[in-house]
């Protein structure tokens, strides 16, 4: 994907906010590096047409909630451009299982039998990773290769919105990324922090954080509706899906 293709593929609602970084030398270097990695036979996830999926499903003017992740999942067939989300037919990852557990405890929402979060994204939940690609089997392999400037610009664009939004920042990485935006912590937005939902840290404060109900209470109080966290179309999952 060349720098020109990057600019052309950015959804229209995000184009103005991202154009400066996409026109920068770092974006061209990222595109050239990705092309070289693929030419060398390395498997890169997600597929090219899914790398900006979070921006496609959640236009800038529709963003109400931001949930930040680090990398796409690095297993075959998992990643599809949304943080914490996997494609239909793929086993729900441990961190997402814990997200579903907290959602059930907080809002009495039963987990679906899948890990696809497009239902949230289409309602204005921006599910954005820090790096938008990864090499198969190598977590973190595309960090500090140039994606950060692009995703930082996306976060800053949401922070600049006049409409109040909610930032759900789980883990030190997400907190550092979002709170580096000047003034975000003291802005009109609601910023909620908690440990990462990973099995290694979820019991340190993610469980019981009640971020989902707090987000909806804030949005409703500011006339922005609420997020339907339950995927009604898919129906509830079984108990085994969150164990």
- The residues assigned a catalytic role are 71
Pick the closest to residue 33 from 2, 79, 8, 5 (CA basis).
2
CA distance 157 to 4: 21
Tokens of 17: 């906010």
Judge residue 233's burial from the number of C-beta atoms within 10 Å of its C-beta, 0-12 exposed, 13-18 middle, 19 or more buried.
Answer: exposed
Those residues with Cβ within 8 angstroms of residue 177's Cβ, 6 or more apart along the chain or in another chain: 68, 130, 151, 152, 155
């Amino acid at each position: 994907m060349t720098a020109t293709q990057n600019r052309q593929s950015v959804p229209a609602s995000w184009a103005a906010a991202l154009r400066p970084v996409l026109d920068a030398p770092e974006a061209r270097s990222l595109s050239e590096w990705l092309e070289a990695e693929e030419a060398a036979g390395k498997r890169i996830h997600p597929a090219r047409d899914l790398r900006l999926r979070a921006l496609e499903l959640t236009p800038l003017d529709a963003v109400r909630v931001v949930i930040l992740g680090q990398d796409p999942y690095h297993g075959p067939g998992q990643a599809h451009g949304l943080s914490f989300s996997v494609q239909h037919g793929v086993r729900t990852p441990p961190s997402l299982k814990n997200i579903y557990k907290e959602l059930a405890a907080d809002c009495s929402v039963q987990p679906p039998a899948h890990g696809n979060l497009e239902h949230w994204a289409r309602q204005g939940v921006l599910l954005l990773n820090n790096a938008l690609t990864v090499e198969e089997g190598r977590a973190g392999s595309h960090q500090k290769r140039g994606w950060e400037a692009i995703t930082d610009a996306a976060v800053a664009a949401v922070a600049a919105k006049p409409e109040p939004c909610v930032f759900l920042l789980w883990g030190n990485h997400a907190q550092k990324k979002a709170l580096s935006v000047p003034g975000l912590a003291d802005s009109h937005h609601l910023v909620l922090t908690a440990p990462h939902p990973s099995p290694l840290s979820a019991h340190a404060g993610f469980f019981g954080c009640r971020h989902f109900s707090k987000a909806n209470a804030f949005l409703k109080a500011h006339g922005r509706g609420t997020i339907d966290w339950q995927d009604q179309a898919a129906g509830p999952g079984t108990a085994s899906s969150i164990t």
